[in-house]
Amino acid sequence: MSANERAPGWNPPIRILMGPGPSDIHPRVLAALARPTVGHLDPFYLQLMDDLQQKLRQIFRTENRMTFAVSGTGSAGMEAAVVNLIEPADRMVVCVKGVFGQRMADVARRAGADLLCVERPWGSVFQPEDLLPALERHRPKVVGIVMAETSTGASQPLVEIAKLVHDHQALLLVDAVTSLGGMPVEVDRWGLDVVYSGSQKCLGCPPGLAPITFGPAAMELIQRRKSPVASWYLDVRLLSSYWGSERAYHHTAPINMTYALHEALALILEEGLDARFARHLRHHRALKAGLAALGIDYAVEPSYQLPMLNAVRVPAGVDEGAVRRALLERFGIEIGGGLGEFRGKVWRIGVMGYSAREANVLGLLAALEQLLPEFGYSKFDKGASIAAANQVYVEALK
């Protein structure tokens, strides 16, 4: 088959992205990707980097000077955070309550940490008393925790844990890949030392950049390192010369992805952070009401449910994978399946960034009402989910 004959197959289908990420992309962000490429040391690009950093500080709600975007996905942000803070044999505690806590622990092991994992059941969160014995026994240099556990839909409170960690002379490293841009992430007010995220979820940008911020205590620790950072590419001391006033060449930055993230952040700030958080919560509540009318409940107790990532239990007897395939093939809607302990047991439904729209929520509920009876589940009244979600939207207008 010739290249010309293959060409039509390379046109991607139009999807409604309501899984755990990536999310739908605003047309302005897609247009930004197509703008002319300049050099990574071009004066225009350097100015754009300055503005990007300032916008990231506003969204992280921090004054941290070392706030920038790692050239890589959220997992690169995780690795950058860990390998810069941890030297071989440094003690680290990682809080594990899902896949991404497990992943942080794996990165810490590879960095040579003297690691202690504290575990909680999937779908639960940590309370300060869960960590106190580990802090007293292990005396870690760093404690790592996931704020929004994408594999379970659990929202981790951080304020009291941050205080406890600091009372034990440790630094707190936070995974905010799913939460940043969709719910409050108060880096300075909560006392978070290092926080990383990803561009493709609530920030509403394609995957490929990992916003990250290092506080003063973290930067001081990094400057005192006795051994080189294990990753040259992710070494913050080197990156600070590129993202700082020196603008010393480090690597060829993803120019057009920076355009896209800059535009995505501009959209967030135009909307306003508080209004954006309220929008995510509104669509979460509408979706939750609609799913309840279908008899579908959540895998996390109400007080700890994420607004942007809804992990819900698959009805008994339903082939969860078959329903997801039908949603994609017949309606162009993508939702996610479970990971790890939740594999085959939950659907993960995202209402993130530009995907957090009324039409998406109502469209998914309508599709489920049509599909579920075909897969042997019909314990609901027709139209009930749409009516329940619409009631939430009507009340929000009052």
Q: What's the rounded mean pLDDT across residues 207-229?
A: 97
0.75 exceeded by pTM: yes
What is the model's pLDDT at position 247?
86
Decide if pLDDT at 368 tops 90.
yes
Integer angstrom CA distances of residue 27 from 33, 91, 203, 347: 10, 45, 14, 28
What is the model's pLDDT at position 245?
82
Q: Using an 8 Å Cβ cutoff, are 15 and 334 in contact?
A: yes
Helix, strand, coil fractions of the chain, as percent rounded to 5: 45, 15, 35
Share above pLDDT 70 across residues of the chain, in percent, rounded to a whole number: 98
Q: Cis omega before residue 22 (within 30°)?
A: yes
Cα distance between residue 60 and residue 56, in whole Å: 6
Decide if pLDDT at 183 tops 70.
yes
Tokens of 105: 């622990």
Decide if pLDDT at 346 tops 80.
yes
Decide if pLDDT at 378 tops 60.
yes
Calculate the dihedral angle through the C-alpha atoms of 120, 125, 131, 133, rounding to the nearest 10 degrees.
-50
The 8-class DSSP code of residue 355 comes to G
What is the model's pLDDT at position 10?
80
What is the model's pLDDT at position 8?
61
Decide if pLDDT at 116 tops 80.
yes
Cα distance between residue 225 and residue 240, in whole Å: 15
Of the candidates 297, 341, 363, the residue with the CA atom closest to the CA atom of residue 101: 341
Q: What's the rounded mean pLDDT across residues 185-192?
A: 98
Share above pLDDT 90 across residues of the chain, in percent, rounded to a whole number: 95
Q: What's the rounded mean pLDDT across residues 287-294?
A: 98
Per-residue buried b or exposed e for 2-17, using 16+ beta carbons within 10 Å of the residue's own CB: eeeeeeeeeeeeeebb
Of the candidates 88, 207, 79, the residue with the CA atom closest to the CA atom of residue 144: 79
Mean pLDDT of the chain, nearest integer: 96
Mind listing the domains of the chain with CATH numbers?
27-269 (3.40.640.10), 272-397 (3.90.1150.10)
What is the model's pLDDT at position 5?
54
Q: What's the rounded mean pLDDT across residues 96-102?
A: 97
User: In a 3-state reduction of DSSP, which class is residue 7?
Assistant: helix
Decide if pLDDT at 98 tops 70.
yes
pLDDT in tens, 318-340: 999 999 999 999 999 999 999 99
Decide if pLDDT at 2 tops 70.
no
Q: Using an 8 Å Cβ cutoff, are 135 and 186 in contact?
A: no
Lowest mean pLDDT among 73-87, 181-195, 242-256: 242-256
In which residue are the tokens 């088959």 written?
Answer: 1
What is the model's pLDDT at position 398?
82
Residue 117, beta-bridge partner list: 94
Q: What's the rounded mean pLDDT across residues 89-108?
A: 98
Confidence of residue 1 (pLDDT cuts 50, 70, 90): very low
List, as one string, the DSSP characters of 56-85.
HHHHHT---SEEEEEES-HHHHHHHHHHHH
pLDDT in tens, 121-171: 999 999 999 999 999 999 999 999 999 999 999 999 999 999 999 999 999
What is the model's pLDDT at position 381?
96
